[in-house]
Chain A
């Protein structure tokens, strides 16, 4: 059976006067995906999310949410969507419960039971009567997530949901998202700076750079299973460095100030170790460097420093 695309952007373009914030952005998120949306600061992630939710208008292009045009038919397009855009802005003079209650009135079937269940999931039910103005940033973030999951949405669109949360809170939200995916089959589109988070929970990833999608694919494909990197600490680096060129399974060698970084075909590390020993090279340490999404991200975005 063909997989159903639930979030689809078609050649989205957003221009601000002379600046092109997004250029020809096409995203396809399939039902059941947990899609990580990555990019350095200022790459256009939040602009893309605002466009997807119809909060801003594209200069050209279109957005379909569950097959409905979000600009022409927001009522249908947004009916099964939960979202959190940037740091959530609430009516600070109202309580957490009241904020959810007002939003819930527009969703139907959102009574006190659903509101408290949603608050419970982010551990805010005991603060339900507290005014939002007294909330910390982390509590507001949790409340934003409670708001997003209030109507048991089929699709969740989250813009940096774990920002401002402590490590424990981050883990809880990650677990909650995984749980929603497992129990209810919720499709999740998540923009984040925390690459480790994406690696842990996402199956697909899109990487944006300067408003252009430079990679879209499976997370597993970014973690090359055929290669591995090892870092070698040697007292005689000058003597050892030229020797690697003789090894066919070595793909790349980089010399650092205190070590040599070797990219090689997986499973050849011990062979390389023996070879160095035969060449009378003393090896102090061999540190395996697991390939990570972070490496891939830095590589593909050409190592821009401002990212995660």
Chain B
């Protein structure tokens, strides 16, 4: 399994795409902090959460879709999957390695955003809101811990989304069509969620930016978050299972 994960990551990190994604996130983070630094409420400690909401709403979902094209569609289409499947491995192993790889890649995007937000927020604005108070450093680290928790939790709905579009990847042969359909799915779920408040908690897109629905408004965790977790975990289990079953049954014709 670790060998397969290594192989999947090796392939991704030997393409330019992943580095372009990192550069885009870096550039976007810099611009974001540059634009917001003159706002009266701007502070280095609020930047990470604001940036998280912005990148998690569209940039990371799109990158997640593109990762899925590399992990599944391109390999089905180009016949590369055969290279691995004719070796002594099982399909479940390969599937889980690809899901783990997706998790690592998405996680790396969040980690980069987190680190950048603190570096840029601190150097371009400063952490005056907490450090100027008594016990400032203690407050700063407490705040940083809560923020890191939000970043960590944000990875989970993105994995659920990755698995959801993974189902499409088992049917669609063209990268372009897959990306278009998946982006339409993001917008459709967001619009439906905005228009019909009752169904909003059941849309996975709701949890891209609303980590409070998973962590609660205050720390420690409140009881009202269980619906959020139930929805996100249901997406992971259902999409994951369907994606897995389709992957196992798929004929490697090319």
The answer to whether B85 and A55 have CB atoms under 8 Å apart is yes
The answer to whether A93 and B86 have CB atoms under 8 Å apart is no
Q: From residue A91, how far is it (CB to closest CB) to chain B in Å?
A: 6
In the bound complex, residues from chain A placing their C-beta under 8 Å from that of B91 are 74
Q: Pick the residue among A57, A77, A91, A106 that contacts B249 (CB under 8 A).
A: A57
Given the complex of chains A and B, what is the CA–CA distance between A77 and B89 in angstroms? 10
A89-113 CB contact bits vs B (8 Å, 1 = yes)?
1110110001100110111000000
Which residues 74-114 of B have a CB within 8 angstroms of A? Answer: 78-80, 82-91
The answer to whether A55 and B7 have CB atoms under 8 Å apart is no
Known: A105-B3, A147-B83. A75 touches B89 (CB 8 A): yes
The answer to whether A50 and B78 have CB atoms under 8 Å apart is no
Known: A93-B15, A102-B10, A105-B3. A53 touches B86 (CB 8 A): yes
* A161 at interface by CB-CB < 8 Å: no
Interface size class of chain A, counting residues whose CB lies under 8 Å from the partner chain: 20 to 34
Which residues 131-148 of A have a CB within 8 angstroms of B? Answer: 147
Q: Pick the residue among A89, A90, A106 that contacts B87 (CB under 8 A).
A: A106
- If over half of A's interface residues share one DSSP class (helix, strand or loop), that class is named, otherwise mixed; here it is loop
* B251 at interface by CB-CB < 8 Å: yes
Q: Which of A79-87, A117-125, A168-176, A188-196 is the contact stretch?
A: A79-87
Which residues 39-94 of B have a CB within 8 angstroms of A? Answer: 78-80, 82-91
Given the complex of chains A and B, what is the CA–CA distance between A93 and B80 in angstroms? 12
Q: From residue A303, how far is it (CB to closest CB) to chain B in Å?
A: 30
* A78 at interface by CB-CB < 8 Å: yes
The answer to whether B85 and A56 have CB atoms under 8 Å apart is no
Q: Pick the residue among B14, B84, B86, B254 that contacts A98 (CB under 8 A).
A: B14
Given the complex of chains A and B, what is the CA–CA distance between A269 and B217 in angstroms? 101
The answer to whether A81 and B86 have CB atoms under 8 Å apart is yes
Q: From residue A118, how far is it (CB to closest CB) to chain B in Å?
A: 14
In the bound complex, residues from chain A placing their C-beta under 8 Å from that of B251 are 50, 55-57
In the bound complex, residues from chain B placing their C-beta under 8 Å from that of A57 are 249, 251
Given the complex of chains A and B, what is the CA–CA distance between A94 and B4 in angstroms? 17
Known: A55-B251, A106-B4. A76 touches B11 (CB 8 A): no
The answer to whether B86 and A83 have CB atoms under 8 Å apart is yes
The residue among B82, B84, B91 with the most chain A CB atoms within 10 A of its own CB is B82
In the bound complex, residues from chain B placing their C-beta under 8 Å from that of A79 are 88
The answer to whether A91 and B11 have CB atoms under 8 Å apart is yes
The answer to whether A54 and B83 have CB atoms under 8 Å apart is no
* B134 at interface by CB-CB < 8 Å: no
Q: Pick the residue among A54, A98, A105 that contacts B85 (CB under 8 A).
A: A54
In the bound complex, residues from chain A placing their C-beta under 8 Å from that of B87 are 78, 103, 106-107
User: Closest residue of chain A to B6, judged by CB?
Assistant: A105
The answer to whether A74 and B11 have CB atoms under 8 Å apart is no
Q: Pick the residue among A50, A76, A86, A106 that contacts B84 (CB under 8 A).
A: A106
In the bound complex, residues from chain A placing their C-beta under 8 Å from that of B80 are 89-91
In the bound complex, residues from chain A placing their C-beta under 8 Å from that of B15 are 93
Q: List 10 A-B contacts (CB under 8 A).
A: A55-B85, A55-B251, A78-B86, A88-B83, A89-B82, A90-B83, A93-B14, A98-B14, A106-B3, A107-B88
Binding site for B on A (CB under 8 A): 50, 53-57, 74-79, 81, 83, 85-86, 88-91, 93-94, 98-99, 102-103, 105-107, 147
Binding site for A on B (CB under 8 A): 3-4, 6-7, 10-11, 14-15, 78-80, 82-91, 249, 251-254
